Structure 1
């Protein structure tokens, strides 16, 4: 059975930078979609969760055989990266796994 959710969210990066007594946690979420409308709706959802849109790229697929049947009409895939930065004091990092 094809899992659509795993296909859409393909990478997450979490980077922790330490500055004096603070830690800046940068979360990057990478997604892809097969339609323009799905991309636009998801962009709104991510912004509502505190993520910034870092740009979108579009790629034409050569092999569309792996796509679910309702995606085959559109051989373009849109890639998006969303970034969120949070700052916390260093002592909170030991108790907060995020």
Structure 2
């Protein structure tokens, strides 16, 4: 694959490869994927690491993961609100029982 290094680190994501090294960002120069960015191990021959990933596919996965986490947070927030309402109802019932026993 024809490739070049990514020009700007600020536009790139930070990704760790299988061997624990920071993966380097490259830009494809092939006719099939011109300008498409990808990551691979910075030491593939030394570390015998086969890590390789398109930049845009990982951002799609990240977006899906973020949306899933947002949904889980919303569900947890609703459960917490329901539990607070139940707790308040139990406190009211407890206070009423205390009043009735005192009489």
Fold conserved between structures, TM > 0.5: no
TM-score (norm 1): 0.21
Larger radius of gyration: 2
Higher relative contact order (Cα pairs below 8 Å, separated by 6+ residues): 1
Give the strand-richer structure, 1 or 2. 1
